[in-house]
A and B are shown apart, each in its own frame.
Chain A
Amino acid sequence: MTKPESFITNGIRIDGRKPEEIRPITIEVGVLDRADGSCYIEHGLNKVLAAVYGPREVHPRHMQKPTTAIVRFRYNMASFSVEERKRPGPDRRSVEVSKVSREALEPVIFTEYFPKSSIDVFVEVLQADAGTRTVGINAASVALADAGIPMRGLVSACAVGKVDGELVLDLMKEEDNYGEADMPLAMTQTGEITLLQMDGNLTPEEFEKAIEMAQEGCKRIYEIQRNALIERYKRDIETEEEPLETPEEEPVEVETVVENEAEEETSEEVESE
């Protein structure tokens, strides 16, 4: 990969986008059978898979908190996710990304509902093309909802950067590698910022503008996340003959008891001998 001559020609970026345009996103919900919640996102050329397990028992035991659930987040890049083979396993960068991503999601989860348990999030980057931490957060947030974990709302994340002295939304690989700045941002749907990082340089004015652009991007991504979740069950619900019942009634088992009563005595006797 070499540095392009110019990043923007006549207001169009090298992949044909406008400066404030995000890459196309497709989201699939519930792709993994064994996970409690899962999500697969293709964001431009990024391919990211997220799995959520829990709430479940904490191992090792000493990590558990007596009043809340703990959230653990593992961000991992596959060795084949980048052009030059990445040495597998956690490294300085992935530990950092895991930490900031966890902190981006934690404020929206009602951890106090599940004391002494853990909610484990795994994000695997299968193909990377800049902005994988934001894609990871988007995927994880959808997977958490899919796992039935109570949350205040979804978290959406998006990056802004500067190339050729101009602010652009959602950097792609070339722009990220040879650009002047990269600023990922995550926010809740109410607009509270839960992640903000920056490398490179922006003037205070550019920074203000960049935050606004990223928030716009997050709003668009939120709509896509929302649609993915709604569409997943919409078809099922529409074809359903009987509407879903929610019972006020308590154990129906009582009648079973009567059926089995005679049997119980005998079985107990056998057992005591």
Chain B
Amino acid sequence: MSEKQRIVIPGDLVSRDPARRGDGTYVRDGSLYASLYGLVNEREKIRVVPLSGKYVPTRRDVVVGFVKEVTFSNWIVDIGSPYEGLLHVSEYPRRIELDEMSAHLGIGEAVLVEVKEVDPMMKVELTMRDRRLRVIRSGRIVEISPSKVPRLIGHGGSMISLIKGASDCSIVVGQNGRVWINGKGC
């Protein structure tokens, strides 16, 4: 992985073998072309890693969201993407009454949630039914570009564990580029 990274722009030829098609590429006339402006990553599959772009939710992503609206039985959560997330009351860790929803999780509050399901209409269902997911009431949230998330985590988590160790903070990186940092000083 030490050779120089190749920058491509949309429409650049990346491979003659369409079977190696990865993210950020498309097939035209039996060859593989880049569809994004980014860096080529060649493994079994050829991917183009974008240099910028919006977060598109995918199933099982852990993200940091802000509550935008409380409706009859859902919280509408801004997850920093073109699509809003829906968190149903039944996906809250404990059973709560419908009329007590905003008391538990009000507008403007931050939540650590997981993407439960994304349908083709881009309806994003979220869940908090996991021990690691919670309402964020302490620490601070920093926003970075979603395309930089893999770099913050590092290879096999090397970068993030280095930062965690040196700062003595707990850090949760949301796939949407929002990072929750919680330390003793906060």
- State the A residues within 8 Å of B (CB): 36-37, 54-57, 66, 108, 110, 113-117, 145-154, 188-190, 226, 229-230, 233-234, 237-238, 243-247, 249-257, 259-261, 264, 267-268, 271-272
Give chain A residues whose Cβ lies under 8 Å from the Cβ of B131: 257, 261, 264
Partner of B52, one of A36, A114, A189, A257: A36
Q: Which of B38, B82, B120 contacts A54 (CB 8 A)?
A: B82
Contact B132 A256 (CB under 8 A): yes
List residues of chain A with CB within 8 A of the CB of B150: 245-247
The reply to whether A244 and B52 contact each other, CB–CB distance below 8 Å, is no
Residues of the A chain whose Cβ atoms lie less than 8 Å from the Cβ of B56: 113-114
Residues from chain B with a CB closer than 8 A to the CB of A271 are: 104, 135
Task: Kindly identify, within residues 78 to 124 of chain B, every residue whose CB is under 8 Å from any CB belonging to chain A.
Answer: 82-84, 93-94, 104, 120-122
**Interface set, chain B 1-60, CB cutoff 8 A to A:** 1-2, 4-5, 7, 9-11, 24, 26, 28, 33, 35-39, 41, 47, 49-54, 56, 60
Q: CB distance B170 to A151 under 8 Å? A: no
DSSP class of A's interface residues: helix, strand, loop or mixed?
mixed
CA distance A42 to B159 in the complex (A): 41
B122 touches A116 (CB 8 A): yes
- The answer for the CA separation of A261 and B51 in the assembled complex, in Å, is 35
Q: How far is the CA of A243 from the CA of B10 in the complex (A)?
A: 22
Complex Cα distance, B33 from A152, in Å, reads 8
Query: By the criterion CB–CB under 8 Å, are B82 and A117 in contact?
Result: yes
Q: Is the CB of A154 within 8 A of B156?
A: no
Tell me whether A151 and B10 are in contact (CB under 8 A).
yes
- Interchain Cβ contacts under 8 Å between A and B, 26 examples: A36-B54, A57-B83, A110-B35, A113-B56, A115-B120, A117-B83, A148-B53, A148-B54, A150-B26, A151-B36, A152-B33, A154-B9, A154-B10, A229-B9, A233-B51, A237-B39, A238-B4, A244-B39, A244-B151, A246-B47, A247-B156, A252-B157, A253-B132, A256-B132, A256-B171, A264-B134
